[in-house]
């Protein structure tokens, strides 16, 4: 794989199209040292950006919660996102907008730092091995819990939140799992390291945790809408760890993960059933709807 700093093309950087390999930040950037950094993750399907406005709204929400004022309007960011996708000629890929504090100050207080904004995009396929999209992935349970909502701006894509996600995912991979299920601060089921989680019960109803200390994913909300349109009952509620053995099926949702079945969480096995495969197919159809219409 080509390292991300060695790729070709342009990155939208502070309102200019800059050569990919020339986009550099100084090692003494506040964003790097103190995690004053927010980002988004979007997908492009058949040349169309999926849910651009929702992602841009969340980008601004994350920035505001982190006391970062993005020096562009949402409209400018939407236009810049479309522009970079077109300049890079991405057909099926990923977009990463990000904003961070610069190097004018190097201490906890960062009031006078410049806010930098960049948008990069590249062709990209499946997040998990495509074969696992039908076989299902295996999760362990992380020893790290999602922080309680009064400890961090939890409903954002701020980089600091991902510190424990990387630790959890590394441990899972070392132990032969694909990803990790994280619990919330009370020990209830929360989410995976970069995706929301759903369960199917023996009656064909879906259950998913209330996102009250972690991200309410855009894919999560989309899949809930799809399920409702199919008259599948959705139960948004607290889910305790003891319940894992009662469920028949499980899947993850996320921009990167899309709809990915889970076949195992430690000793609990789940069937990759038709209901989950059907939701996955419906999601795939929806994201490419514009092209098909
Ligand atoms: N939780 C976390 C921690 C994530 O990083 C993501 C990916 N953005 C999600 C959930 C799913 O969010 P979305 O469906 O908006 O991509």
Tens-place pLDDT, residues 7-43: 999 999 999 999 999 999 999 999 999 999 999 999 9
Ligand 1 center from residue 241 Cα (angstroms): 21
Residue predicted with more confidence, 1 or 255: 255
Instruction: Check if 10 is active-site.
Output: no
How high is the pLDDT of residue 130? 87
Residue 55 pLDDT greater than 90, yes or no? yes
Ligand 1 center from residue 43 Cα (angstroms): 12
Q: Which atom of ligand 1 is nearest to the CA of 196?
A: 10
Considering the candidates 157, 238, 289, 291, report the single residue annotated as catalytic: 157
Quick one: average pLDDT of 195-223?
98
Residue in the block written with tokens 């789940």: 270
Quick one: average pLDDT of 2-6?
96
Number of folded domains that form the chain: 2
- Is the pTM of the predicted complex or chain greater than 0.85? yes
Is 1 among the domain residues?
Answer: no
What are the C-alpha distances in Å from 44 to residues 8, 104, 136, 194, 224? 18, 35, 24, 18, 21
Ligand 1 center from residue 119 Cα (angstroms): 18
Under DSSP, is residue 53 helix (H, G, I), strand (E, B) or coil? helix
46 and 95 in a single domain? The answer is yes
**211 touches ligand 1 (CB under 6 Å):** no
Quick one: average pLDDT of 67-85?
98
**260 touches ligand 1 (CB under 6 Å):** no
Dihedrals phi, psi of 6, to nearest 5 degrees:
-110, 20
How high is the pLDDT of residue 289? 81
Listed residues 93, 123, 153: the one ending a domain: 123
Containing domain of residue 154, as a range?
132-292
156 and 100 in a single domain? The answer is no
Q: How confident is the model at residue 166 (pLDDT cuts 50, 70, 90)?
A: very high
Residue 110: CATH number of its domain: 3.30.470.10
Q: How confident is the model at residue 126 (pLDDT cuts 50, 70, 90)?
A: confident
Q: For residues 275 and 203, is the Cβ–Cβ distance under 8 A? A: no
119 and 137 in a single domain? The answer is no
Listed residues 77, 105, 123: the one ending a domain: 123
Quick one: average pLDDT of 276-288?
97
144 and 171 in a single domain? The answer is yes
Percent over 70 (pLDDT), the chain: 99
| For ligand 1, atom 10: residue with the closest CA | 195
Listed residues 66, 98, 123: the one ending a domain: 123
Burial of 291 (0-12, 13-18, 19+ CB in 10 A): exposed
């Amino acid at each position: 794989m080509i390292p991300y700093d060695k790729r070709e093309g342009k990155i939208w950087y502070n309102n200019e199209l800059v050569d990919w390999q020339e986009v550099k930040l100084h090692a003494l950037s506040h964003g790097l040292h103190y995690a004053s950094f927010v980002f988004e993750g979007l997908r492009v399907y058949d040349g169309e950006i999926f849910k651009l406005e929702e992602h841009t709204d969340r980008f601004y929400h994350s920035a505001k919660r982190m006391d970062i004022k993005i020096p562009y309007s949402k409209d400018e960011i939407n236009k810049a996102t479309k522009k970079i996708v077109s300049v890079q000629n991405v057909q099926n890929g990923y977009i990463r907008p990000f904003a961070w504090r610069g190097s004018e100050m190097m201490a906890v207080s960062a009031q006078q730092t410049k806010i930098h904004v960049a948008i990069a995009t590249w062709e990209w396929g499946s997040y998990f091995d495509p074969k696992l999209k039908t076989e299902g992935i295996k999760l362990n349970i992380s020893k790290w819990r999602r922080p309680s909502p009064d400890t961090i701006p939890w409903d954002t894509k701020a980089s600091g939140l991902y510190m424990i996600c990387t630790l959890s995912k590394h441990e899972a991979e070392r132990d032969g799992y694909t990803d990790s299920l994280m619990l919330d601060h009370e020990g209830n089921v929360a989410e995976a390291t970069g995706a929301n989680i759903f369960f199917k019960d023996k009656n064909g109803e879906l259950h998913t945790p209330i996102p009250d200390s972690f991200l309410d994913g855009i894919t999560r909300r989309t899949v809930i809408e799809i399920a409702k349109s199919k008259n599948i009952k959705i139960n948004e509620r607290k889910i305790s760890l003891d319940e894992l053995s009662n469920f028949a099926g499980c899947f993850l949702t996320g921009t990167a993960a899309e709809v990915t079945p889970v076949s195992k969480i430690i000793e609990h096995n789940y069937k990759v059933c038709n209901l989950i495969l059907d939701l996955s197919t419906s999601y795939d159809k929806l994201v490419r709807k514009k092209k098909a219409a």
